[in-house]
Chain A
Amino acid sequence: MAERLALIAKYGLGLAMAGVIYAMFLVVPQYVGLGDAGRIIIVHVPTAWVTSVAFALSAVYSIIYLRTRSPLHDASAVSAAEVGMLFCIFATVTGAIFAEVVWGTFWNWDPRETTILVLLLIYAAYFALRSSIDDGARRRRLSAVYNIFACVTMPFLLFVAPRVADSTLHPNCAFLQGSKCEGVSLDLNGAKISQLGDVVVELKAVDRIGETTRALVEVRMPGLSDIAELAPTLDSTGAAADRPEFPGQSFRMVLIEADPQAGTARVNMQAPGTGLLSNQRTLWVFLASNITFGMLALWIFRIRATILQVSARLHTTEAL
């Protein structure tokens, strides 16, 4: 009975994933500024979530291993770490494709891109550690301890560090309303130069033209490939009005607040696609995708754990 239910669940997962792929292309609407590139969040974000869950699961199995010293738990820890690594690579690649389409470059050392690369390297070191120790018991013990420390860094790298950074192109503030994305404060009488991502910005003037407040900001693109003056504005209600595009890019500069008397302004980058998940069709497809990718990860984990556990049993039998 249990086997039959498992088989039904697997075919159900196959159909669900096919449904998510269909919905991603034909149900989710296009977004102004993003075009079809916006559809990639249906894959990109769930894979990033699965990554964090898989790494956490791996650490739990490592803790259980340290308590029980059973090679079977160690095999489960490795399997979960492998699944996490697989989905982490998938999230990085889909993110890079999105970046190329929307920001014009596959990689620009945005805080989010940098932290996910660090996370990939930390877990690559986990597998390197495992392969460098011949003695089975010692390998399992050391890698379990390392895995727990690696997992402790994961929430900081995935969730905290990109939000602590002054500015990120990653659409935390574009997709998810309420996310913190402060931008940078510039002062004509003080710190008038700062950085937005890897773009240097310098405040040249803040003035009022009728009801509109305008900031004149010089932007220097990475490697001084382009220098331009942008003039984002606020309307009479204090809401952002003109949002000029950065030279050669698809993202825009937005003026968050400005005070012509004090000579201060706060500006930020804004990726296209603000409020993407406020659309009901996108939201439901996104939730279905999260569940489906979660189930897929669980399935891959089970298969890999079974194989590694069989291997562990064989080694135990040989040792006897």
Chain B
Amino acid sequence: MQILLDAGVAIYVAMSVALVVWLGVFIYLMRIDAQAKELKRLVLATNQESTPATPRATVEHRTPHAQ
């Protein structure tokens, strides 16, 4: 373990740790980004399905006293 802390090696160790941490964060962000998009798509689709139908009415013109 001591070799990892040697002056010439420590900077590579620190860089490797930083890169691994970034890789983890990047993968996490990619996954959560995809899931958030999918969730948004589902919610929008559900909202469209559950939108109540537009009320309709038929207007009939009648002429009074017309037989």
| Cross-chain contact B47 with A17 (CB below 8 angstroms) | no
* Chain B residues near A14 (CB-CB < 8 A): 22, 26
Given A21-B22, A303-B33, A310-B36, the answer on whether A317 and B50 have CB atoms closer than 8 Å is: yes
**Interface residue ranges of A270-320 to B (CB < 8 Å):** 299-300, 302-303, 306-307, 309-310, 313-314, 317
Interface string of B41-62 (1 = CB under 8 A from A): 0011001001000000000000
**Chain B residues with Cβ under 8 A from A303's Cβ?**
29, 32-33, 36
Partner of B33, one of A10, A18, A24, A313: A10
B43 adjacent to A314 (CB under 8 Å):
yes
Q: Is B14 close to A, CB under 8 A? A: yes
Q: Are A310 and B40 in contact (CB under 8 A)?
A: yes
CA distance A313 to B30 in the complex (A): 23
CB contacts (< 8 Å) of B19 on chain A: these are: 18, 21-22
Residues in A with CB closer than 8 Å to B30 are 10
> When the two chains form the complex, which single residue of B18, B29, B44 contacts A299, counting CB atoms closer than 8 Å?
B29
Collect the chain B residues with CB atoms within 8 Å of residue A313's CB. 43-44, 47
Is A109 at the interface (CB under 8 A from chain B)? no
Are A25 and B26 closer than 8 Å at their CB atoms? no
A26 interface hit (Cβ, 8 Å): yes
Could you say which residues of chain A place their CB within 8 Å of the CB of B36? Answer: 303, 306-307, 310
B18: chain A residues at CB < 8 Å are 21, 24-25
**Which single member of A22, A26, A306 contacts B37 (CB below 8 Å)?**
A306
Interface hits, B1-55 → A, CB 8 Å:
11-12, 14-15, 18-19, 22-23, 26, 29-30, 32-33, 36-37, 39-40, 43-44, 47, 50
* In the assembled complex, A36 has its CB within 8 A of some CB on chain B: yes
- In angstroms, Cα B39 to Cα A303, docked, is 11
Asked whether A17 lies within 8 Å of B14 as measured between CB atoms, the reply is no
Beta-carbon contact of A306 and B40 below 8 Å: yes
CB-CB nearest in chain A for B21: A21
Which B-chain residue is minimally distant from A7 (CB atoms)?
B30
Min C-beta distance of A141 to chain B, whole Å: 24
| A26 x B29 contact (CB < 8 A) | no
Contacts of A17 in B (CB 8 A): 22, 26
CB neighbours (8 Å) of B40 from chain A are: 306, 309-310
State which residues 16-50 of A face B: CB under 8 Å: 17-18, 21-22, 24-26, 36
A18 touches B29 (CB 8 A): no
Residues of B within 8 A of A10 (CB): 30, 33
B25 CB to closest chain A CB (Å) equals 9
Cα–Cα distance between A306 and B50 once the two chains are bound (Å): 21
Q: Please give me the residue from chain A that is nearest to B36 by CB atom.
A: A306
Closest to B13 in A: A25
Contact B11 A26 (CB under 8 A): yes
B29 touches A25 (CB 8 A): no
| Closest chain A residue to B12, Cβ basis | A25
**Which are the 9 A-B pairs with shortest beta-carbon distances?**
A25-B15, A306-B36, A14-B26, A21-B18, A303-B33, A307-B36, A310-B43, A310-B40, A310-B39
Other A-B contacts than A25-B12, A313-B43, 6 sampled, CB-CB below 8 A, are A25-B11, A26-B11, A299-B29, A307-B36, A313-B44, A313-B47
22 A-B residue pairs with Cβ-Cβ distance under 8 Å, sorted by A, are A10-B33, A14-B22, A14-B26, A21-B15, A21-B19, A21-B22, A22-B19, A24-B18, A25-B11, A25-B12, A25-B15, A26-B11, A299-B33, A303-B36, A306-B36, A306-B37, A306-B40, A307-B39, A309-B40, A310-B36, A317-B47, A317-B50
